[in-house]
Amino acid sequence: VTLVHRGDEILQYATEFNRKTGLERLQKAGIEIMTGTSVVEVSPDDNEGSNVMDRQCRVTIQKDDQLDTLDSDILLWTAGAMATNTQQGILNSKLPRDSSGRIVTDKYLQV
């Protein structure tokens, strides 16, 4: 498992204790943490199966000026912990929302 995070540290809005504990537990679980790294492209693997559940993807990442590729069986992408104050992007989309403004998904987390 690889956690790719664009920021300089994970859990940046958590307390120092929670940040340190979270980092230690992720590392103890064998999770590779890549901070200061951006996902620049996600594409299907060339060896796709006929069933969408059998497919893999290739994730292109960038740290500084260096590009690298990760192969992935499962890709979980999050969009952050705080709402933006701009009227651009996902907040200005026509995606379905619940009464709290969260995007509504199905049981597969798809819109």
Predicted local distance difference test score (pLDDT) of residue 56: 82
* Nearest C-alpha neighbor of 71 from the set 106, 43, 92, 96: 43
Note the pLDDT tens digit of each residue in 41-81.
888 876 655 555 566 888 899 999 999 999 888 877 776 65
pLDDT band, very low/low/confident/very high, at 104 (cuts 50, 70, 90): confident
Predicted local distance difference test score (pLDDT) of residue 16: 92
Is there a contact between 12 and 19 (Cβ–Cβ < 8 Å)?
yes
87-93 average pLDDT score: 57
Predicted local distance difference test score (pLDDT) of residue 28: 97
Mean pLDDT of the chain: 81
Q: Which stretches of 21-108 are assigned E, i.e. beta strand? A: 32-35, 38-44, 57-63, 66-72
Token readout for 59 is 């994730």
Ramachandran angles phi, psi of 3, nearest 5°: -105, 120
DSSP annotation of 103: B
- Say how far apart CA 81 and CA 83 lie, in whole Å: 7
Is there a contact between 37 and 63 (Cβ–Cβ < 8 Å)?
yes
DSSP annotation of 16: H
